[in-house]
Amino acid sequence: MKGQTFNRLLTVKEVAQILGVSPVTIRAWDKNGKIRTIRTPGNQRRIPEEELRRILGNTGQPKN
C-alpha cells in the first residue's frame, strides 16, 4: 500500500472535548455537512484525525 496513510479515528466525544463543544454540536455538524465522519459497522460516528486537523486549521486553537 504505497503512498497510503492511515489516520486515527476519533469518537464524537473526543472531538467535542478537543474543540470545546458538545457532542450534540458535532452530530449537528455531521448532519449539516460541516464535518466529515465515517460510520462504523455499528453505525457509530468516527471522525478521522485529518478532519479534526482541517477544522482546527479553520478555527485556530482548540478551546480548553
Q: How do residues 14-44 score in pLDDT, each as one tens digit?
A: 999 999 999 999 999 999 999 999 999 999 9
pLDDT at 5 over 60: yes
Lowest mean pLDDT among 1-10, 15-24, 51-60: 1-10
pLDDT band of 4, cuts 50, 70, 90: low
- Are 34 and 54 spatial neighbours (Cβ–Cβ below 8 Å)? no
Task: Look at residue 58 in the predicted model and tell me its pLDDT.
Answer: 66
What phi and psi values does residue 31 have, to the nearest 5 degrees?
-60, -35
- d(C-alpha 57, C-alpha 35), whole Å: 13
The full set of domains in the chain, from first to last, is 10-59 (1.10.1660.10)
- d(C-alpha 4, C-alpha 55), whole Å: 22
- Are 19 and 57 spatial neighbours (Cβ–Cβ below 8 Å)? no
- d(C-alpha 34, C-alpha 28), whole Å: 8
Is the pTM value of this prediction over 0.85?
no
